[in-house]
Amino acid sequence: MTLGEKLKKARINKNFTQEYLAEVLNVSQKTYSNFENDKSKPDFHQVEDIAKVLEVSVLDFLSGDNITVNQNNNEVAIAQNYATINVSEKLIEQYEQRLKDKDAEIAYLKQLLDKK
């Protein structure tokens, strides 16, 4: 199952429209449609935002053929047998860069606090 198919399945499961998710992500409906149709790929932070809104694990979008959906705080496995996680190097790099940026921001804020 492709990332786009997983996005669509999770969105439909929550009864959300493409327009709603596009608005949440601050992208056009056409851009979001391209994600679901595998014409383009969302950035890692967008995948994180989509997963949060749809109450789905980010790893489910980036791995195997499974999607785990949270319904009323109960996780329901839609598929069995997890496949090996195949996360692209670009997504890993984006995630690691976000972590570095957050660490730098924390260090800066600590420095400001120490000046007081």
pLDDT tens digits for range 41-84: 888 888 889 989 998 888 777 775 444 444 444 333 333 333 33
pLDDT tens readout for residues 73-104: 433 333 333 333 444 566 677 778 888 889 99
Q: Cβ neighbours of residue 71 under 8 Å, at least 6 residues apart?
A: 55
pTM score, whole prediction: 0.56
> Which CATH number applies to 3-85?
1.10.260.40
Specify burial of residue 105 (Cβ count, 10 A radius: 0-12, 13-18, 19+): exposed
Q: Which two tokens stand for residue 73?
A: 């705080």
How far is 31 from 3, CA to CA, in rounded Å?
A: 14
Domain regions of the chain by residue span: 3-85, 87-116
* Among 39, 35, 16, CA closest to 27: 35
How far is 12 from 76, CA to CA, in rounded Å?
A: 15
